[in-house]
Every structure is written in structure tokens, then in C-alpha cells.
Structure 1
Amino acid sequence: MLLRKFLVLISTTLLTGLFLNFYFVITEGIGMDNLFFALGMFLMGAFPFILLIGMPVSILSDSLSKNIKGKQRYIEAFLVHITFGLIAGLVISFFFEHFFYVVVTLFAAIIFWAVDEFLRKKIRGLHN
């Protein structure tokens, strides 16, 4: 489980960093010369939040839904990720006074859930 969570952490950080990079390239016109620098900054900024918020939420989600099977488990895990992503986004946006952080945390929560479910399914398929 820890290896899967680590892979999800890395994947979510990369995808969130790429999302932020493309968003600011489109809206702010970041030039190609600053593209990799901006990506590095976004990755450094996203990693601690995903590690300190996303990992515990995902572990909580797994423990809450461990006895549930099928689509109900997917739905419950999704709702746990989205709920905590929304709460984290609201708290962060309160301190930094920008609603965009809610969008980013919800995006990261959905990506974290989707990658975790994908890897869970693939790893389970390898063991069968």
C-alpha cells in the first residue's frame, strides 16, 4: 500500500504541477524561457500540500471504505477525497485570499483519487 501511495503522490504532484504550469502559460503568458523554472516552482509548492493533506486523506479514505465493495466504495472514496480537498482549499484560500486555491485542491483531490483507484485496480490485477 505504501508503494502505491508513494506512486500516487508523485503522479499527482506532477499532474498538478503541469496543470498549474499550463494554466499560467495561458492566463499570464509565461514565456518558454521561464516554463521549466515555473514548473519547478509549482512542483515544489504542490508537493508538501499533497504529501501533508493528500496522503493522510487517502489513507483515511482507504480505512473508511475497506469493507465496502464495488461502485459504492469508489463513490465513498471519491466523496472523502473531494470533501477534504474542498476543506483544504477553503482553508488555504482564506489565508491567501484567492479562490483559485479551491480549484487547485479540488483538481489535485480528483487526480489523487483517480490515480489511486487506477493503481489499486492494476496492482490487484497483477496479484490475481
Structure 2
Amino acid sequence: MIIRKFLTAMLTSFMVVLIYFSLDPSSPVLLFGIYLFSILMFVGIPTSIVSDFLTKKQQGLSRLLTSFILHVGAASLLVLLPFALYEINWNPQNFFFVTSLFSSFLFWTFDEMLKIQLINKKLCMNT
């Protein structure tokens, strides 16, 4: 599971960097990618592990939605909490907020895709 989460963090960072670089090649996107990868390692992976633990008894759409809400909710809190603690005015279109939502959505998507592939691989091996 940890390898899948690490791979998911790498894929997410790579995709976000690729998309942001295509939008603005002159910006320091690679530095941002390193920053994003470290956040995914220390916040995204633990959040995803907790999400897997909390949703392991659920199945189908219910599990997917709960997992999605946990991933996106944790990312939102990570950005909104400092603004609330320091009483900083913020805009919902804030770069960090949008990036955290987008990154958490990608992380969740890649993790679910890899999870489905592993389940299918195990099912094929058992038949």
C-alpha cells in the first residue's frame, strides 16, 4: 500500500507540474513541484492511508464518495487553516486553495485507479 501511495504522490506532482508548466513555462514550476511533492508525502499519503482505513468496510459509490470527501477536505483544511488562524483575508480563487483542491482530486483519482488495477490483477491471478 505504501508503494502505491508513493507512486500516487509522484504521479500527482508530475501531472500538476506538467499542467502548470504548459500554462506558464517561465515560472519556477519545478520548485513548486518539489514543494508539492513534500506536502503530498507528509500530508497526502497519511490522509490517504486514514481514508483507506475509514472506508475499508464501505463498498461502491459510498466508499468512493467518502474517500473523495476525506481527500479534498484534508487538502482544503491544510490551506484554509493558516488563513483562519492568522486572520488573513483570502479569496476562494487563491492559487494555493485551487492547487490543493486540484492536487487532492488528482491524488484521489490516481490512487483509486491504481487500487482498481491491483484488485483486477489479484483477481486475474486467482483464476
- Please give the TM-score of this superposition, normalised by the length of structure 2: 0.82
User: Which residue of 93, 105, 122 maps to 1:110?
Assistant: 105
Structural RMSD (CA): 2.1
Unaligned runs of 5+ in 2: none
User: Which residue of 13, 25, 30 maps to 1:40?
Assistant: 30
Q: Is the 8 A contact 1:89 1:103 kept in 2?
A: no
* SS at structure 2 position matched to 1:66: coil
Distance in 2, Cα, partners of 1:22 & 1:107:
16
The structure with the largest helix share of the pair is: 1
Q: Is the 8 A contact 1:78 1:113 kept in 2?
A: yes
Distance in 1, Cα, partners of 2:81 & 2:16:
19
- Please give the TM-score of this superposition, normalised by the length of structure 1: 0.82
Q: Number of matched residues?
A: 118
Distance in 1, Cα, partners of 2:22 & 2:77:
25
Unaligned runs of 5+ in 1: none
CA gap of 1:97–1:13, structure 2 versus 1, over 3 A, is: farther
Instruction: Work out the percentage of aligned pairs sharing the same amino acid.
Output: 26
| Bigger mean CA deviation after superposition, 42-51 or 61-70 | 42-51
